Amino acid sequence: SQTIHQWPATLVQPVGSPLSLECTVEGTSNPNLYWYRQAAGRGLQLLFYSVGIGQISSEVPQNLSASRPQDRQFILSSKKLLLSDSGFYLCAWSVLRPDNSPLHFGNGTRLTVT
Amino acid sequence: DQQVKQNSPSLSVQEGRISILNCDYTNSMFDYFLWYKKYPAEGPTFLISISSIKDKNEDGRFTVFLNKSAKHLSLHIVPSQPGDSAVYFCAAGSGAGSYQLTFGKGTKLSVIP
């Protein structure tokens, strides 16, 4: 069966510090991978998605970047965190596009930037 | 500009009764809709979906209704069970090769035993 691992579960970082969140998927090959964020009082917002190794599409211009160094690994990074980067970050995968297969989410990372 | 709106942040229902969660959208390009359920400390899980060519889709105790003219969809849970207590997210997307899903803010359902 397929599983998705996302860590850490919670993170408190000072403004200006770097960020690296990692997500790995097991049990499937060549998945579509996604990073979503839920800010306070907002819905889930798609930040990045990837359809293959080294292929990253950004949906929202921001202070963050994403990389996919391996087929089942997706990393969210920032060189310098802002207060507005606080939120709940979710990694997800799907077999096909979201209109043809559901998203499978990790348990998320609660990031607080102080 | 919220394209997918869940106007009720919370809903309480007695066990055994019907739960109705509502969702409105503004973008007429949306042609498929999904509901996800989220328990605390877990990621959302897919519940049920509906394409714009249908007005109803049923899966066990869960039924989603779509009213395209009103740009409104609803999720019915019958009968409601305490294990259904969770946050429910409505999401919408348009085909044509898009990977984007637009989510609502969620509605917290509490089913009272």
Query: Would you state the pLDDT for residue B38?
Result: 94
Contact A25, A103 (CB under 8 A): no
Q: Is pLDDT larger for residue A64 or for residue B41? A: A64
Q: How far is A94 from chain B (nearest CA, A)?
A: 10
A64 contact partners, CB below 8 Å, separation of at least 6 = A19, A47, A48, A76, A77, A78, A85
Whether residues A32 and B99 touch (CB distance < 8 A) is answered with yes
Query: Would you state the pLDDT for residue B87?
Result: 96
Mutate to test the interface with A, among B25, B99, B107 (most CBs of A within 10 A): B99
Whether residues B93 and A106 touch (CB distance < 8 A) is answered with no
For the stretch B67-89, pLDDT in tens is 999 999 999 999 999 999 999 99
What does A63-87 look like in DSSP terms, one character per residue?
S-EEEEEETTEEEEEESS--GGG-E
B42 touching chain A per CB within 8 A: yes
Query: Would you state the pLDDT for residue B1?
Result: 67
CA distance A71 to A26: 10
What does B26-61 look like in DSSP terms, one character per residue?
--TT--EEEEEEE-TTS--EEEEEEETT-SEEEETT
Grade residue A49 by pLDDT with cuts at 50, 70 and 90.
very high
Grade residue A106 by pLDDT with cuts at 50, 70 and 90.
very high
pLDDT higher than 80, residue A100? no
Q: Is the dihedral of CA B46, A66, B6, A113 positive or negative?
A: positive
Grade residue B96 by pLDDT with cuts at 50, 70 and 90.
low
B89 touching chain A per CB within 8 A: yes
B9 touching chain A per CB within 8 A: no
For the stretch B28-64, pLDDT in tens is 999 999 999 999 888 999 999 999 999 999 999 999 9
Average pLDDT of the residues of chain A: 92
Contacts of B95 in chain A (CB under 8 A): 97, 99
Mutate to test the interface with A, among B3, B47, B100, B105 (most CBs of A within 10 A): B100
pLDDT higher than 90, residue A6? yes
pLDDT higher than 90, residue B99? no
Whether residues B43 and A46 touch (CB distance < 8 A) is answered with no
Whether residues B32 and A99 touch (CB distance < 8 A) is answered with yes
A61 contact partners, CB below 8 Å, separation of at least 6 = none
Which residue from B minimizes the CA distance to A51?
Answer: B99
Eight-state DSSP code of residue B95: -
Q: Hey, how many other C-beta atoms are within 10 angstroms of the C-beta on A47?
A: 20
pLDDT higher than 80, residue A55? yes
